[in-house]
Chains A and B, each alone.
Chain A
């Protein structure tokens, strides 16, 4: 099993360009998440999808959109990139049984916006 995969691994954009970050999981999890991680800021939730067909805003949703394409795939779109969106983006998935909501993370996408 590959777990959670993300593409691309690295990306450089110019201000105003758009792009879509792809995420897929093969663990048959219902829930998926997008986080951004900035130095000294920990992980901040952008959007999440509790189950196929639903999406909800997290802590920092402005400037982003998401699509839960099917149970496996959850994409994050930047419509008009800004330098403030330079960050490392992590996708995660989980199955909400038990108490921990243990989340499994992908390897991340390192995005630079010039």
Chain B
């Protein structure tokens, strides 16, 4: 089966840095994605890692360690608009169309 674990809630101060972790146990692994979802909105794609290491996109970075079945999303210079839920998602194989999503981490940014 597939399972992804991430913290259910995180609170951080505006301007600070926050890390959201994701550990996965899947029958196959091709890559790890991150999606953002504001309350009442649709999920939107943030980043993707297929190889070990850090990928940076502006204030957001994502890290993957395949040997540890672990990844994280790093948000820097937090802004109030970053308050949202963040989901990690695994694609299990090159021929797989499916993404398996974690249950999400609700990030609250406080002044």
Name A96-112 residues within 8 Å CB distance of B. Answer: 96, 99-108
**B18 contacts A by Cβ under 8 Å:** no
* CB-based contact B48/A102 at 8 Å: yes
* CB-based contact A31/B97 at 8 Å: yes
* CB-based contact B103/A40 at 8 Å: yes
| Interface size in chain B (residues, C-beta < 8 A) | 22
* CB-based contact A100/B101 at 8 Å: no
Name B53-96 residues within 8 Å CB distance of A. Answer: 87, 89, 91
* CB-based contact B104/A100 at 8 Å: no
Given contacts A100-B31, A100-B91, is CB(A45)–CB(B48) below 8 Å? no
| Cβ–Cβ < 8 Å partners of B104 in chain A | 42
Given contacts A90-B43, A99-B30, A99-B50, is CB(A45)–CB(B8) below 8 Å? no
Report the separation of the CA atoms of residues A58 and B87 in the bound assembly, to the nearest whole angstrom: 18
**A50 contacts B by Cβ under 8 Å:** yes
Report the separation of the CA atoms of residues A101 and B45 in the bound assembly, to the nearest whole angstrom: 10
Chain A CB within 10 Å, residue with most, of B99, B100, B101: B99
Nearest chain B residue, comparing its CB with the CB of A91: B42
Contact among A33, A40, A59, A103 with B8 in the assembled complex (CB-CB below 8 Å): A40
| Cβ–Cβ < 8 Å partners of A102 in chain B | 33, 45, 48
Report the separation of the CA atoms of residues A104 and B46 in the bound assembly, to the nearest whole angstrom: 11
Report A68 CB to chain B, min CB distance, Å.
13
* CB-based contact A103/B99 at 8 Å: yes
* CB-based contact B97/A107 at 8 Å: no
The 6 lowest CB-CB distance pairs between A and B, nearest first, are A100-B48, A105-B42, A42-B103, A43-B101, A42-B101, A102-B45
Interface residues of B (CB under 8 A from A): 8, 30-31, 33, 41-45, 48, 50, 87, 89, 91, 97-104
